[in-house]
């Protein structure tokens, strides 16, 4: 897919990884809708780009999400919004409403958004969806936030199951799975740690946006995952 001239929606795009992805897609020539609930940061991010606009949408509001996608009719959807890995308390100490909200934001919302764009993308003769996962969703070890890691594991598996959509809908759904990314907040959090606890350097934002662009542009990729681990080159996983 040629990104130039396409319509893109990026969720969680006011700051951090979402803003970096939106900025990169705009630089590649896409018309980008930056979706978030942080109005000040969202408007500032969109205002710094050409052919971009900010949309206030709470992804836990099904009707608002459906209205957005029906109006935007994107050729490219990046399900980046998420979070909660550092919020405490977590399961089992958190109440059901709190850990359910994490599942809804990190898994249900991207599932619904993907479902909502399928018909339009099929009518438009194709589209690309990129889900932003996390290495918290890989492996079998413990994690401080079980609900977050479970939702990201589900997002990875969800992506892999949708490979057939390339044939049935001409829609390719893929996932980028980064380790700790060097956003402004990520850098500050790492620098606040003792030196012995910081670990390897974080994933550069450019490495993340390169992976997203690859998953959009490469028409041979469907239901695939690009793993971004610290101190290792990007890896296209065989699922």
Selecting among 148, 150, 159, 223, the annotated active-site residue is 148
Q: Is the pLDDT of residue 238 over 80?
A: no
Q: Which of 86-95, 178-187, 218-227 has the highest mean pLDDT?
A: 218-227
Q: Is the pLDDT of residue 93 over 70?
A: yes
Range of lowest pLDDT (8-17, 141-150, 160-169): 141-150
Q: What is the pLDDT of residue 205?
A: 97
Q: Give catalytic status of residue 54 as yes or no.
A: no
Calculate the average pLDDT of the chain.
95
Q: Tens digit of pLDDT for each residue in 57-80? A: 999 999 999 999 999 999 999 999
pTM above 0.75, yes or no: yes
pLDDT range class, residue 239, cuts 50, 70, 90: low
The answer as to CATH 3.30.450.40 being correct for domain 7-237 is no
> For the sheet containing 31-36, what is the strand order?
52-56, 31-36, 7-11, 76-79, 127-132, 171-178, 225-228, 235-237
What 3 state SS string does 72-86 have? HCCCEEEECCCCCCC
**Across residues 95-105, what is the average pLDDT?**
94
Range of lowest pLDDT (2-6, 81-85, 135-139, 187-191): 81-85
């Amino acid at each position: 897919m040629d990104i130039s001239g396409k319509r893109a929606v990026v969720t969680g795009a006011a700051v951090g990884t979402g803003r970096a992805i939106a900025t990169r897609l705009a630089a590649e020539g896409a018309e980008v809708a930056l979706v978030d609930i942080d109005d000040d940061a969202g408007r500032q991010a969109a205002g710094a780009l050409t052919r971009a606009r900010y949309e206030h949408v709470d992804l836990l509001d099904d009707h608002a999400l459906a209205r957005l996608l029906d109006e935007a009719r994107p050729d490219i959807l990046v399900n980046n919004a998420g979070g909660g890995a550092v919020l405490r308390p977590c399961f089992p100490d958190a109440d059901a409403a709190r850990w359910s909200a994490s599942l809804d934001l990190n898994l249900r919302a991207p599932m619904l958004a993907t479902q909502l764009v399928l018909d339009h993308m099929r009518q438009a003769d194709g589209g690309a969806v990129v889900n932003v996962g996390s290495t918290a969703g890989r492996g079998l070890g413990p994690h401080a936030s079980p609900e977050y890691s479970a939702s990201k594991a589900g997002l990875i598996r969800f992506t892999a199951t949708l490979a057939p959509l390339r044939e049935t809908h001409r829609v390719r759904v893929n996932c980028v799975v980064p380790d700790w990314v060097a956003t402004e907040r990520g850098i500050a959090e790492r620098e606040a740690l003792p030196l012995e606890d910081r670990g390897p350097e974080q994933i550069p934002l450019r490495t993340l946006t390169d992976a997203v662009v690859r998953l959009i542009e490469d028409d041979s990729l469907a239901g695939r995952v690009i793993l971004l681990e610290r101190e290792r080159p990007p890896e296209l996983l065989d699922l």
